[in-house]
Structure 1
Amino acid sequence: METRKYNTNQPIGQLVQFSQDGEYFFKKGIKYYRRRDLYKAKKYFERAVQFDPKEPVFLCQLAVVLSELGEFEKSNDILIEIVEKLEPEMYECYSFLANNYAYLGFFQEAKKYAKKYLEFAPDGEFYEDTEDLLDLLSIETNELDGFHDEEEELINRQEAARELLENGKLEEASMMLQKIVKEYPEFWSAHNNLSLAQFYLGNVSKAIKIAQDVLKKSEGNLHALCNLAVYYHYLGREKEVAHIVRQLRVVHPIDMDHRSKLGVTFALLGQYEIAFKWLRWLQKFGYEGDGAFYYWLAVSAYHTNKKQLADEMWQKVIKLNPEKKGAEPWLKVQAPQPKGKAINHSLIQQFKETDSGEKKLLILLLLKRSGNVRSLEEINSYLLTNNESDVVKEFTHLMLNKLTNKQQLKTSSRLVDGLEVIDALSDQCTWPQSLEQKFYMLWFRILLNALHSPISFKNSHAWAAAIEYCCLRAEDQQVTQKQIAEKYLISTSTLRKYMNYVTDLV
C-alpha cells in the first residue's frame, strides 16, 4: 500500500482559491434571471456591481431587474447614470427609461426617452416595443386632441360635473354631462361619468347602454369596462362580470388614475387580493387618492389579513370624511347602491295602489330602467291573480323581454312602436328627470287613448318632438317650435301636425 507523503511546511486544510470577480457574479445573476428568480438575480447583480461599479452592462442588467421588481426610481437612477456618465451609446437604456416613467405615470418623460430610443436605435432590439409604447402613451394622454382651443374650459366643465356627481347632485351632473357629450362626442371620460350619473339615478339600463356604446367606439376603454362590471355585479349577472374580470386581470394601465379605477373596481367586486395589489402599489408610490381610494384600500387590506394597514388607511378616510368615524367598512362592507334599488319596493306598492293606466306604464318603465328583473317578475306574478288591462300585462312582458332577452309572449307591434317614442325622448332629453317623467306620462296617456285607432306610431321622432314641445309649453318653459323641430331633425310643419294629434288625444 502506497504511503502518501505530505509537505509538512504546507498548512493542513488550506483551500485552493478560485476567482470570484464581477463577471462570476454577473453570470450567476443571469442564471437566476432566466429562471425568473428575480430576488436572487438582484442579489448577484448587486455583487457584480460592487466588484466593478463602472461596468455599464452590469449596471444595466441590475436596472432591468429592479424595474421588474417595481423599484422604478432606483432603476431610473442607474439608467440615467449609464447614459449620462458611462456609456452614452447604450441606447437600450432609453427604452427602459421610457417604460419605467410610463409605469410611474410620468408620461412626458416617458415620451421623451421613447423618442430618443427611436431616433438613436432605428434597428434596435426594442424598436417595435418602444413604438407600441409611444402609441399607447399618445392614446393615454391625447383624449383631448382636437379640442385644444377649448381644452381648459372643457376640463373645468368636466371637473365641475364630477364634483356634482360626488356631492350627490345627480340630475345637475347628468344635465351638464349630456351637454358636454353632445358638443364633444369623442370625449369618453364625460360619457363614462354620464353613465355613472344614470346608474346612481337608478337608470341602470341607460347606464349600461352608454357604457356599451363607449366600448363600441373606444375599444377597451378601461373606465367603461370597469363601470360595466360593477353594473352587472349589481344586477347579479355574474357570467358577464366574470367575462369582464378576465379582461381586466390582464390589463396593466400606465396611468395612475386608471390603476386606481382598476383597484377600486376589483374591491367593489369583492376580489380583494388583486384590488390590494393595485391600490397598495399606488399608495406606496405616493399616489394622492380621494376618500374612495383609501376606503377601498382599507377594505382590501382588511380582507387580505393586513389589519394594521387597514386601520391606518381608515384613519386617512376619517381625515377626508370626519363623519365616517366609527363606521369601519369591514363591519359591513357594501358597494355603493344606486338610488333606484332603494325605491323599487315603493314603485311596486304604487303600481298595486294606482288606478291610472299611464302611471302603471311609467312604473314598469322605471323598474325596467333600474335593471331589477325580480321587481318586474313580482309584478308579473301579481298580474296573474289580479284583474288588469291587457295593455299593462303586455307592457310588463315587453319590459321583461327587454331585460332578459327572453321571448315570453307575442307583444303588440303598436306597443313596440310606442316604446320607440320613449327611446327617442330619452335620447334627446336634456331636462331634469322629474320633467322627463312628465314627458313619458303624457306619451303613455296618448298611447292608451290611441292604441286602437288607425293613427300610426311609426314616426317616433315626430311624436317625441310633439310630446316634448306640448309638455314644455304646459310647464311655461320658453322654447320655440323651430328649436324642437331642429333638435329632432324634423320640419316645423311635421311638428305642428303631430302637435294636433297630441291635442286631440289628451
Structure 2
Amino acid sequence: MDTRHSRDKSGDRSSNVIAMNFDATYFFERGVRFLQRNELSKALRAFRKTVEYEPNNPVNYCNLAGVLSEMGDFQASNELLEHVLRELDPNMAECQFYLANNYANMGEYDTAEEYVLRYLDADPDGEYAEDAEEMLGVLMDEFGGGRVFEKWQEEKRQSDVVAATKDGRYFLENGQFEAAVEWLEQVIQKEPENYAAYNNLCLAYYYTGQHDKALAMADDVLYRQPDNIHALCNRAILIKHFGWADVLEAAAEPLRKVFPLHYDLAMKVGTTLGIIGYHADALAKFRRLLRFMTPPEPVLLHAAAAAAANSRQWAIAERYWSQLVRDIDYRAVGEYYLRRLAEARSAADVDWRVSYQLDLPVEAQLAEVKDKLKDDDLDAWRRDPLVRASLYWGLRHGNHETRRRVIRALAVVADSDAEKALRLFVGRNDIDATSRLHALVALKRINAQGTVHINVNGEWQEIQLEEVDSNIIFELNPNWRAVWERTEGWLEAHHLGRLIPEAKRLWLTYLYDMFLHVNRRIGKTDIWVAGLLYITLRYFGVPVVQRELAEEFKVAPSSIRKCSLRLEQILLSAGI
C-alpha cells in the first residue's frame, strides 16, 4: 500500500500546500479559456462543474447548452434550455433564441420559427433582437417558412384587440362610442382602479354628448391621481367646451409645464393645448417632439403646422406642410393646406382655424350629411339625388361616426342603389375592420345575396353573403354577445335546449332592428338576459314568474317588464 499521500498529508510539509478555491467562478473561467482555444471537450467538463456547484443558476445551464450546441448535440442543449425555462427562470428570453438556433440547425424550421417569434415577443428590443429578425427572414425566405409567423400575427392582432377592448380603446378608435360607454361602465364597476378605463369612459361620455358625466369622471380620476395626464387633458377640453374662461388658465397650466417622454402622451398634451386655444404652447410641444422623431410622423407634422398656422406663424406652418407633401399618402392633405395657407396670408385672414386632426377639412360636408340623416322621410331620400350624393360622399370621406350613420341610413333605404354602395364600400382596401363589419351587417340586414370581395390584411377574399353567419352582429358590441351567451347557458342549465334556436332568433331579430337606430343602446346585461328569457319562455308556453327571474338576476321586475315590452314590440312588427 502506498502511504506517501497520508504521510504528506500528516507531515510538517503540509504547511507548504496552497489551498485551491474550487467554485463555479473558477470553473467558468476555465471553461471560457477552453472555448477560446476551441477545446470543446474540456470546456464541456468545466461548465458541467459550474452546474454542480451552482445548480440553481440558469446562466450556468445556458453556458453548458451553448457548448453542447457547438459540439452538435442540439437535443441535449435543448433539454437544458427547456429546463431553465420550465424550472429556473421562465422569463429568460434568450433561451428562446438559443432554442431557435438549435432547431434551425436540426432542420426543424417551423419549430425554429416558433421559438424566434417567442423571443421577439418576450424581448423585442433585446440583445439578440436584430439577429432574431434576420433569422426569421432567412427561415421565411429560404426555408419556406411563414406559416407560424402568420399564425403569430393573427394571435397578436387578437390579443391586441382583447387588450384594447378591455380598456375601451378599441371602441373609441373605431367610433363605437355608445358601445364604449356600455362596456366601460361595466369595466369600472369590476375594476375600480383601472384608470385607463375611467379616462376612456370620460371620452366616450364626451363623444356621446354626456358632458356633465364626462367632467365628473375626469374630476374623479384627478381626485385620486392629481397628476394623471390623460385626465388633465380631458378636463381641460371639457372646461373649454363649457366656456369656463375663468378656470381655463388653471386647467391649462399643468399641461404647459409638462413634457411626457412617451410619444402618444406628448401628442395628446400638445393637441389638447391646441384644442383649448393655447396654440403657441402646442407648437412648442410639437417642435420639441419633432427633434426626437426621425423621420417625423405625418400626424405630428400636420399638428405642428396647424399649431403654427393657428398662432399666425405662417412660415413655420408652410415648412411643415411642405414636408407632409413629400409623403405620397398625405400629399393631397398637404397640398390642400398649402393652398389655404396662401389664401389666408394674402387676405390676412386672422379668423382661419385649422383642425389638429390629420384629414381633409370636411366639416361643411359632414354637417350637411348629418342634417340629412336626421330626416326620417325615406321617400325624400329616394327622390332627392342631392341627398343620395351627400350620403355617398359621407360614406367615402367621413370619419368613423359619419360612416356608421351613413351605413345605417343605407340599410334603412335598402334599395338597389343603397345595396350597391354598401357592396362597393366593403370592397375598399382603405377602410378599417369595424367599418367593414358595419357594412356587412347592413348587407345582412337588407338580405343582400351573392358575392362580395373584401380586402383583409392586403389579401382579397371572396365571400358569399348568404354564408355570412347572422351572428356577425355580435362582433359590433361585446354586450350583445354576452346577453346571448348567458341566455343560452341558462336554457341549457335548465334543460330547455329546445328553445335555444327560438331565443336566438328573437335576439337576432331585435339586434338587427336596433342596428338601424344609432341612439338605442343595451344597458345592464342582467336585465336583458332576464327580459329575453322571460319573453322566450312566455312565447313558447313555459311557465315563468317575472318576480322569480328578477330575484335570480338581481334586477327589478319593472326593468324586466320594460325590456320584454321593447322586445315584444319588435317581434310583433316582424311577425314572429
For the aligned pair, the TM-score class normalised by the smaller chain equals 0.3 to 0.5
Structure 1 length-normalised TM: 0.37
Higher relative contact order (CA 8 A, sep 6+): 1
TM-score (norm. length: structure 2):
0.34
